[in-house]
């Protein structure tokens, strides 16, 4: 594997924002503003990268990802009308939270923290059944809650995306 940095002459800039992030330099867990788009009629969307595990070193098990997606997507909407989407990363290291408008970063951190506390207090995974989910049997409340607990334990470092010296 060639050791290059994204967006350099050796590794050309890509259309997908996360492909331009040097995953070797980030320090999970973190909450990072990954993108901002102004739509044709002036509406603004912001996308946050909620990185739960250290890229290329650890990942969340898929049933935990699936359950955390259900739990977070359901509960976050109890706290904000700005939520457009909450979706997992294919690499299983985190999620993307898409919001309308431009909430202050501290508000986003508060929204994430409050929602993850809801996850910890949940007694079931919402819509974890064959009627409401495409793989209703593929869930783990315990796994989702453990991921939430670990992410919350790193709360003081959420604003730090890259390791020092990276």
Q: What is the C-alpha to C-alpha distance for residues 156 and 132, in angstroms, rounded to an integer?
A: 36
Q: What order of strands is seen across the sheet that includes strand 30-38?
A: 30-38, 44-51, 94-100, 83-88
Tens of each residue's pLDDT in the chain, 166 residues: 445 666 565 678 898 888 889 999 999 999 999 999 999 999 999 999 999 999 999 999 999 999 999 999 999 999 999 999 999 999 999 999 999 999 999 999 999 999 999 999 999 999 999 999 999 999 999 999 999 999 999 999 999 999 765 5
If you search the block for the tokens 């049997």, which residue do you land on?
137
Structure tokens, 91: 């690499």
Does residue 19 fall inside a structural domain? no
Does residue 165 fall inside a structural domain? no
Say what the pTM is. Answer: 0.92
Does residue 3 fall inside a structural domain? no
Q: What is the C-alpha to C-alpha distance for residues 49 and 75, in angstroms, rounded to an integer?
A: 18
> What residues make up the domain containing 96?
26-157
Structure tokens, 103: 């909430």
Total structural domains in the chain? Answer: 1
- Count CB-CB contacts under 10 A for residue 120: 13
CATH number, domain with residue 125: 3.30.1360.80
């Amino acid at each position: 594997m060639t050791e290059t940095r994204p967006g350099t002459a050796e590794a050309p800039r890509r259309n997908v924002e996360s492909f331009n992030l040097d995953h070797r330099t980030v320090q999970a867990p973190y909450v990072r503003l990954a993108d901002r788009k102004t739509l044709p009629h002036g509406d603004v969307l912001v996308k946050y990268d909620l990185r739960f595990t250290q890229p290329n070193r650890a990942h969340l098990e898929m049933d935990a990802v699936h359950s955390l997606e259900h739990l977070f997507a359901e509960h976050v909407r109890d706290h904000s009308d700005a939520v457009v989407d909450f979706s997992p990363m294919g690499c299983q290291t985190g999620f993307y939270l898409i919001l309308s408008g431009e909430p202050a970063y501290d508000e986003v951190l508060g929204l994430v923290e409050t929602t993850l506390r809801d996850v910890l207090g949940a007694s079931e995974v919402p819509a974890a059944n064959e009627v409401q989910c495409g793989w209703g049997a593929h869930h783990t409340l315990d796994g989702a809650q453990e991921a939430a607990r670990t992410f919350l334990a790193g709360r003081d470092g959420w604003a730090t995306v890259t390791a020092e010296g990276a």
